[in-house]
């Protein structure tokens, strides 16, 4: 059986994050319930993200 691994998506631009990319992941600093992923480009340009659980908006 072959199972496809799903790639995480950036919380800002919703683009899949490749394994070789310099991305970061962290739990929401307000609620701690959601894992936020940030791709290299969104980090570089300080694009905003929003927590799906508590609505926190971060740079």
d(CA 40, CA 24): 8
Mean pLDDT of the chain, nearest integer:
93
pTM: 0.83
Token pair recorded at residue 47: 């694009």
Beta strands in 1-59 (DSSP E): 24-27, 35-38, 49-50, 57-58
d(CA 59, CA 47): 6
**Would you give the distance in Å from CA 17 to the centre of its chain?**
8
Note the pLDDT of residue 45.
Answer: 96
Domain ranges of the chain: 8-59
- pLDDT above 70 for 2: no
Query: Residue 26: helix, strand or coil by DSSP?
Result: strand
pLDDT tens for each residue of 11-27? 999 999 999 999 999 99
């Amino acid at each position: 059986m072959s199972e496809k691994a799903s790639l995480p998506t950036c919380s800002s631009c919703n683009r899949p994050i490749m394994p070789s990319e310099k991305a970061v992941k962290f739990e929401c600093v307000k609620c701690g319930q959601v894992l936020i992923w940030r791709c290299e480009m969104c980090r570089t340009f300080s694009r905003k993200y929003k927590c799906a659980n508590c609505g926190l908006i971060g740079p």
